[in-house]
């Protein structure tokens, strides 16, 4: 059971697409580990050390799997279907979009702050904001609120709009 992530890494490395990891596969591993942890107070110190060693290696394997999957996504691999970690890929896309616009100078802003549009009524910086309000936020704050789905980053429309540039 502790080799779950090694198997997943192997499958990921041999697949061109990002493989599907069903929730049940991870849930099975988590269940096994929880059951094992419940037994820790009743086992000898050698068994405990062995368990912690397995846990440490499992974490490293899970980290390697995560890095491989994210790298494949960043390099343009397609997803083969729904997977337990699908939620992360939209977040990565948002981060890349913001950083690209930041480097290209396409963000609307003043000094170290950029303009964002509020997407839903909420509280930002302990201040009530309404949908479609415009705010000036530091880039790191804007990224955090963007990832949470509270704001949309405003970029320079003239440069970002290809159709406008191609008109004669």
Q: Which tens digit of pLDDT belongs to each residue from 53-85?
A: 989 999 999 999 999 999 999 999 988 878 888
Q: How confident is the model at residue 7 (pLDDT cuts 50, 70, 90)?
A: very high
Least confident of 64-68, 120-124, 162-166: 162-166
Give the range of the structural domain holding residue 95, as residue numbers without chain letter: 87-166
Domain membership of residue 68 (yes or no) is yes
Q: Does 80 map to a domain?
A: no
Residue 91, in any domain of the structure: yes
Looking at 26, 47, 74, the residue that finishes a domain is: 74
State the pLDDT at residue 158: 60
Report whether pLDDT(162) > 90.
no
The proportion of the chain whose per-residue pLDDT surpasses 90, expressed as a percent, equals 61
**Do 110 and 145 have their domain in common?**
yes
H/E/C letters for each residue in the chain?
CCCHHHHHHHHHHCCCCECCCCHHHHHHHHHHHHHHHHHHHHCCHHHHHHHHHHHHHHHHHHHHHHHHHHHHHHCCCCECCCCCCCHHHHHHHHHHHHHHHHHHCCECEECCEEEEEECCCEEECCEEECCCCEEEEEHHHHHHHHHHCCEEECECHHHHCHHHHHCC
**End residue of a domain, out of 74, 98, 116:** 74
68, 32: one domain? yes
Q: Are 44 and 9 members of one domain? A: yes
Say if residue 39 is in the same domain as residue 100.
no
Structurally, how many domains does the chain consist of?
2
145 belongs to a structural domain = yes
Confidence (pLDDT) at 82:
83
* pLDDT confidence tier of residue 90, bands split at 50, 70 and 90: confident
pLDDT for 52: 92
The model carries a pTM of 0.75
Out of 74, 108, 124, pick the residue that ends a domain. Answer: 74
């Amino acid at each position: 059971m502790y080799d779950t992530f090694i198997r997943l890494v192997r499958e990921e490395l041999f697949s061109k697409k990002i493989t599907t990891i069903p929730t049940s596969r991870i849930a099975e591993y988590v269940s096994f580990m929880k059951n094992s942890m419940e037994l820790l107070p009743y086992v000898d110190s050698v068994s405990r050390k062995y368990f912690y060693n397995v846990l440490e290696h499992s974490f490293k394997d899970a980290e390697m799997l995560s890095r491989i999957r994210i790298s494949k996504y960043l390099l343009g691999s397609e997803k083969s279907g729904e997977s337990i970690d699908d939620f992360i890929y939209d977040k990565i896309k948002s981060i890349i979009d913001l950083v690209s616009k930041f480097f290209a100078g396409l963000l609307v802003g003043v000094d170290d702050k950029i303009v964002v549009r509020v997407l839903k009524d909420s509280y930002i910086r302990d201040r009530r904001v309404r949908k479609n309000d415009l705010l000036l936020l530091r880039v790191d704050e804007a990224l955090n609120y963007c990832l949470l789905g509270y704001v949309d980053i405003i970029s320079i429309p003239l440069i970002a709009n290809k159709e406008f540039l191609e008109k004669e």
